[in-house]
Amino acid sequence: MTHLRIVADENIPALEPLFGDLGDIIKLPGRHMCADDLVDADVLLVRSVTKVNKALLSKSRVKFVGTCTIGTDHLDKHYFNEAGINWSAAPGCNAGGVVQYALAAMATYSPDWSSKTVGIVGCGNVGGRLYRTLKALGVALKVSDPHKSSTDIPELTTLDDVLTADIICVHTPLIREGEHPTENLINAANLPVINPNALLISAGRGEVIDNQVLYEHLKSTPTLNVVLDVWSGEPDILTPLMPWLRCGTPHIAGYSFEGKLNGSLMIYQALAESLAIDPLAINARLDAVKREILGEQEALAANSINEAVLATYNLKADHQLIEQAIESGEPMKTAFDKLRKAYWQRRELGHYYCPQKSGKIFDFLQLVNSVKK
């Protein structure tokens, strides 16, 4: 097998255990990769901060691009097809982390969420996982997704109807053109539809909500509870919006330990298959890395579902990260990426188990694991 030169985002985990046998690995800051970095590269591994297009690849011989993320709006797939470049993404890799984020937001800012109506905008890998989790818990739901049918999702309705829910979770990908674009999907025309006391959670793509319009809306409707993990123009975000939010975080909803590792595992499998590596060898490598890195489950003691969720993830602590960055005076354009790079090792709900073999918490953790697919 050819010895490859692999250029990778330095924030991708498990690079050596997974890809080390395939060739040399060069780690670089994802947002600052340039064409000169890729002159001798065969493989490019990125996350969502790297725009991969003809300009970036023009000097390279790259024949495989892998993004260890759900989204693909940062990839020029038309160019890949023209240039004969294989590519792969990691759909659903961080769904568990984003669901944990949404549940933590609800537990923190709407503790009685289980008796309220939750609206989900976008019911793909992440929104679908949240939908199945909440449905199994008996929560009343409304769903908006033009790519789904009411046969699969009986709660399917219009976007405006979803925006009347008590809690609204936005999980759409960023689509700039076509029949169903999502850029500025939530805007000046429909923000007023949202109940002024509702909880709005955005953990998909920043440009799905018009941030400037949201800022102006919150100044006149300060009772609206907004939790924002994704922002327009990252990393140079609209910092004046922060004081009007209940919670703002630096695009880390899906940055769980498992979420990032899953992305690496999925892209390794795609690359290995493109290299015609024996499937048994691929599975053996995947299993070995998972055993080595994930470790054993941890016991969790809690008296309620909210308590269990918050025992695994204190969302307010992540909110303080951006607050402290703003107070430090460091330009957010650099601080935002630093916060993501130094993000702590958050384990998903599936990493925990209840020592008691029955009861509400045991059932909840069992349910979380049962809706993974």
Taking residue 332's Cβ as centre, other Cβ atoms within 10 Å add up to: 20
Q: Is 172 annotated as a binding residue?
A: yes
| CA separation for the pair 368, 99 (Å, rounded) | 9
Secondary structure E strands in 104-151: 117-121, 140-144
Q: Is 236 annotated as a binding residue?
A: no
Q: Is 109 annotated as a binding residue?
A: no
Nearest to 313 by CA among 118, 107, 110, 109: 107
| CA separation for the pair 155, 141 (Å, rounded) | 6
Token couple for 161: 């109807």
For tokens 């330990």, name the residue. Answer: 257
Q: Is 239 annotated as a binding residue?
A: no
Taking residue 279's Cβ as centre, other Cβ atoms within 10 Å add up to: 11
Residue 171: helix, strand or coil by DSSP? coil
| CA separation for the pair 233, 211 (Å, rounded) | 9
> What element of type H or E holds 103?
helix 95-109
Amino acid identity of 206? G
18, 293 Cβ separation under 8 angstroms = no
Q: Is 145 annotated as a binding residue?
A: yes
- What is the set of active-site residues? 205, 234, 251
Residues in contact with 316: Cβ distance below 8 Å, sequence separation at least 6, in sequence order: 108, 247
For tokens 């780690």, name the residue. Answer: 27
Q: Is 229 annotated as a binding residue?
A: yes
Token couple for 240: 């004046």
- What is the DSSP-derived secondary structure letter of residue 21? G
Length of the chain: 373
Token couple for 319: 């909110």
Q: Name the binding residues for NAD(+).
A: 145, 172, 229, 254
Q: Name the binding residues for substrate.
A: 48, 69, 255
Q: Name the binding residues.
A: 48, 69, 145, 172, 229, 254-255
